[in-house]
Structure 1
Amino acid sequence: MNTITTIMGDTWDTIALRAYGGEPRALPRHTQLLMEARENIRLLDYQVFPTGIVVAVPDVDDYETADSLPEWRK
């Protein structure tokens, strides 16, 4: 598991974009993975992060491709 250190103004979404890249369809799933990581539970009160908070970045398998998404998510 990697980590990312926040910069002032980061949100869960911007951290997910930096950690996992800019695939728009995957952003909600990546954000959810960050927020559900056991190491990040103590950070859930943050909506906007200050500088210097270390956020755990769980590894992601190839869990979602366009073919594996439900029809409503394509």
Structure 2
Amino acid sequence: MEAVTDRLQGEGVLRFELMLEADNPRAHRFYSKLGFVEEGRLRSAYKRASDGHYTDEILMAKLLPAAQPRRLL
């Protein structure tokens, strides 16, 4: 994830977004430790084929520091 974040920042991306299932607290803790912040929830948005119920999707995002423009050689 650090390499992806570095690459995105190097490309000038200011916002890194992701979605995860609400019934996955391990992933939520992982992304929170990386600096992602919960921004919203899509209620009953996802249903696995093996489940008889729907689960919420959590929207998370991380704002990246503005990168210096790369100079062309």
Regarding TM over 0.5, the answer is no
- Of Structure 1 and Structure 2, the greater strand share is in 2
Q: Which of the pair has more CA radius of gyration?
A: 2
- Of Structure 1 and Structure 2, the greater helix share is in 1
TM-score of the two chains, using structure 2 as the length reference: 0.31
